[in-house]
């Protein structure tokens, strides 16, 4: 006698409008093996769903059903191991506009959990669910991963179909995240090592944000997201972060950031101070929480870099402000990078510096 249960790295009920070819699809499933999602319907999906309620003894099944369940097992969506970590007990409709993106969230959660790596799913539809953003959909999936194990996590994602996009300044303090490009999947993943605007050490910041996180289910898989207060802070930093190379000087509090910070409540203010992000959000916090004593703090160095009028000045500012131990590698990376970071051209960085100074004189 063999008993079978349903397993997956994510499972979603789909609306009747979802189709594969001319057939309606009932379920989208993410196998536990290295595979993209699969879709099933009709009696096939009914049989798989029966495995989520209670273990099914295959002696009670028809020969066709037994054969089908063994196909499930081969595909990575059924198992005779009743204690399997990816056992599925709940299947619900997607709360994302894109069910594929929700499955990506369930996958990264499953992978991180299997490796014992702490991972926060940040921004995206969770912001909308918490009342912090009107827009529901995001084009990619954003994560904040324990920086002490970021290399291990990125390597694991490569095995599942995402390649790390090389950054010309890798190894320096400049990149704050790793962009993972899908090989077959239709969704990029942005893996944050740290979050711009937070100035305390990245490992300490992650530990603090982990303390201010809550469980949220993605395609039936329980993951962690920032609480509303912590997410309000992250979204506020997202809104005020300067656009690289566009040189947009601050002219007072950003009303959208003020609205978000206020929605997060007093806990957002205390978190901003604990994380050292009250320098980046000084104007917004004063408006959102009037009459509150907010310690003075300089604008983060990274925000100063990004506020420069062009990339040539941005790199020079970086070289001036990074710690002495990081200057040699950063300098070497900058002068040896032959491709324009902003325009994709063949201009060298030295040539860009010269052009940047000329532009600065013309447009001070």
Q: Are residues 168 and 47 both part of a single domain?
A: no
Q: Domain tally for the chain? A: 3
Determine the pLDDT at residue 307: 80
Q: Are residues 175 and 111 both part of a single domain?
A: yes
Distance of CA 2 to the CA centre of its chain: 40
pLDDT in tens, the chain (364 residues): 799 999 999 999 987 544 444 555 589 999 998 888 998 888 899 999 999 999 999 888 999 999 999 999 999 999 999 999 999 998 999 999 999 999 999 999 999 999 999 999 999 999 999 999 999 888 899 999 999 999 999 999 999 999 998 877 777 677 789 999 998 888 999 999 999 999 999 999 999 999 999 999 999 999 999 999 999 999 999 999 987 756 556 678 999 999 999 999 999 999 999 999 999 999 999 999 998 889 989 888 888 877 877 766 777 777 777 778 877 777 777 776 644 444 444 455 445 445 444 444 444 4
- How many other β-carbons are positioned within 10 Å of the β-carbon of residue 71? 12
pTM of the complete model beyond 0.75 = yes
Q: Are residues 49 and 173 both part of a single domain?
A: no
Strand-pairing partners, residue 218, are 221
Q: Are residues 112 and 56 both part of a single domain?
A: no
- Listed residues 62, 92, 122: the one ending a domain: 92
- Listed residues 92, 109, 128: the one ending a domain: 92
Cα(104)–Cα(354) distance, rounded to whole angstroms?
A: 44
SS3 at position 20: strand
Determine the pLDDT at residue 283: 94
Q: Are residues 124 and 228 both part of a single domain?
A: yes
Residue listed under structure tokens 């057939």: 23
Q: Are residues 57 and 157 both part of a single domain?
A: no
Q: Are residues 61 and 208 both part of a single domain?
A: no
Q: Are residues 121 and 241 both part of a single domain?
A: yes
Q: Are residues 221 and 358 both part of a single domain?
A: no
Determine the pLDDT at residue 260: 98
Measuring CA to CA, how many Å separate 37 from each of 28, 102, 321?
6, 11, 46
| Domain CATH for 204 | 3.30.460.40
Determine the pLDDT at residue 120: 98
Q: Are residues 115 and 136 both part of a single domain?
A: yes
Tokens of 186: 């239709």
b/e map 328-364, b = 16+ CB within 10 Å: eebeebbeeeeebbeeeeeebbeebbeebeeeeeeee
Q: Which structural domain, as residue segments, surrounds residue 12?
A: 3-92
Instruction: State the chain's maximal CA–CA distance in angstroms.
Output: 83
Q: How many residues does the chain have?
A: 364
Candidates 35, 64, 61; CA nearest to 50 is 61
SS3 at position 176: coil
Q: Are residues 72 and 213 both part of a single domain?
A: no
Q: Are residues 44 and 114 both part of a single domain?
A: no
- Listed residues 69, 92, 115: the one ending a domain: 92
Strand-strand pairing, 189-192 and 78-79:
unpaired
Strand segments, DSSP code E, in the chain are: 3-6, 11-13, 19-20, 23-24, 27-29, 38-40, 56-57, 78-79, 92-93, 119-122, 141-145, 162-164, 177-182, 189-192, 213-218, 221-226
């Amino acid at each position: 006698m063999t008993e079978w249960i349903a397993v997956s790295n994510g499972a979603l009920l789909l609306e009747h409008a979802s189709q594969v070819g001319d057939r309606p699809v009932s379920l989208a499933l993410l196998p536990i093996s290295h595979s993209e999602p699969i879709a099933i319907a009709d009696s096939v999906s009914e049989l798989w769903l029966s495995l989520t309620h209670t273990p099914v003894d295959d002696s009670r099944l028809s020969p066709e059903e037994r054969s089908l369940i063994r196909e499930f097992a081969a595909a990575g969506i059924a198992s005779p191991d009743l204690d399997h970590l990816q056992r599925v007990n709940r299947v619900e409709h997607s709360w994302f506009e894109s069910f594929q993106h929700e499955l990506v969230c369930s996958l990264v959660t499953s992978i991180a959990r299997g490796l014992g790596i702490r991972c926060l799913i940040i921004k995206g539809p969770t912001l909308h669910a918490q009342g912090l953003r009107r827009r529901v959909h995001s084009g990619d999936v954003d994560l904040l991963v324990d920086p002490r194990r970021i290399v291990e996590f990125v390597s694991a994602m490569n095995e599942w179909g995402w390649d790390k996009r090389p950054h010309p300044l890798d190894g320096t303090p400049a990149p704050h995240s790793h962009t993972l490009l899908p090989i077959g999947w239709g969704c990029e993943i942005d893996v944050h090592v740290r979050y711009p605007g937070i100035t305390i050490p990245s490992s300490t910041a992650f530990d603090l944000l982990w303390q201010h996180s809550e469980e949220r289910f993605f395609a039936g898989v329980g993951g962690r997201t920032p609480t509303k207060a912590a997410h309000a802070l992250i979204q506020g930093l997202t809104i005020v972060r300067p656009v690289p190379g566009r040189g947009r000087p601050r002219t007072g509090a950003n009303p959208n950031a003020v609205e978000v910070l206020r929605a997060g409540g007093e806990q957002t203010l205390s978190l901003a101070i604990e994380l050292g992000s009250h320098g980046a959000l000084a104007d917004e916090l004063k408006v959102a929480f009037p009459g509150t004593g907010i310690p003075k703090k300089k604008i983060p160095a990274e925000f100063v870099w990004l506020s420069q009028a062009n990339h040539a000045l941005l790199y020079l500012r970086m070289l001036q402000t990074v710690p002495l131990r990081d200057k040699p590698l950063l300098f070497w990376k900058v002068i040896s990078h032959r491709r324009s970071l902003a325009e994709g051209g063949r201009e060298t960085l030295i040539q860009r510096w010269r052009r940047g100074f000329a532009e600065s004189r013309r447009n001070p």
